[in-house]
Amino acid sequence: MTEIEFRSLDEIEWRVDEGDDGTFSGYACRYGKKDSYGTTFHPGVFRRGLDKQSYALLFMHSPYQPVGTFRAEERADHLWIEGRYDDTAAGRDARVMARSGSARELSVGFVRTDLPEWSKLAEMGDDERKDVVENIRSARLVEVSQITARMAAVPGSKLKTVRSVLGDLYAEVDAPTIADRLREERERRTAGTERDQEMRERRRRAALLRITAAGGA
């Protein structure tokens, strides 16, 4: 499961300094708050999924439009970030938009590391599967993006970005949702069961033909 997912919460708070140093800081993710996908991040979710090196602050989740860098820190009830805008046209524009309010929301890009294989997820009962899917307990941070106002994730939207094979590029695809994956797994199992039944029926008919031939001999 390597899909990058995005989440933006309504209560994200961050501050862009008024001075000339271009720094910013604040909450990139709050724990214990249900997001627009109906999922909840739990304390310690990024405990094993943070790099000590700097991350890129992107604009609208585009890997081709970095606007700054930041470092992330796991805290008791939130993910804290501190960084600086790049001294580039894109960085300066992003800073202006953050301060004006036209693009002052943050969205976290991450890969879940707490989900079992799709086959195991499909075997779970509805309540158990719902608990696993809706509660994010372990994840790897990929990036944080500055996004335009009111562009938070829409409930039910499909994931639109996945990691490439090289790991440092992104490809726009119509990636399946978890519900799509589960449906595909059920269909695969159903098809496998039908094939097994067909093979058993063929073997039964072959056995009857052999018995009939032997009796006629």
Query: Is it the case that residue 118 has pLDDT exceeding 90?
Result: no
Please, which contacts does 90-96 make with residues 24 or more away whose CB atoms are closer than 8 Å? 90/59, 90/65, 90/66, 91/22, 91/67, 92/22, 93/67, 94/57, 94/59, 94/67, 94/68, 94/146, 95/16, 95/22, 95/24, 95/67
Q: What is the largest CA-CA distance in the chain?
A: 101
What pLDDT shows up at residue 160?
Answer: 29
Tens-digit pLDDT profile for residues 67-109: 999 999 999 988 999 999 999 999 999 999 888 888 878 888 8
pLDDT at 168: 38
Mean pLDDT, the chain, integer: 77
**Binning pLDDT at 50, 70 and 90, where does residue 137 land?**
very high
pLDDT score of 42: 94
Nearest-angstrom CA–CA distance, 126 and 131: 9
Phi first, then psi: what are they for 120, rounded to 5°? -70, -35
Q: What single DSSP character describes residue 94? A: H
pLDDT at position 50: 92
Percentage above 90 pLDDT, the chain = 23
pLDDT of residue 169: 35
Higher pLDDT residue, 51 or 18? 51
Residue 102 CA to residue 88 CA, distance in Å, equals 19
- Cβ pair 145, 109 in contact under 8 A: yes
For residue 166, how far is the Cα from the chain centroid? 18
Looking at residues 179-204, what average pLDDT do you find? Answer: 74
Query: Is pLDDT of 28 > 50?
Result: yes
The Cα–Cα gap between 53 and 13 comes to 23
Q: Name the E strands within 161-213.
A: 161-163, 170-172
Predicted local distance difference test score (pLDDT) of residue 74: 92
Per mean pLDDT, which of 44-53, 101-110, 118-127, 206-215 is the most reliable? Answer: 44-53
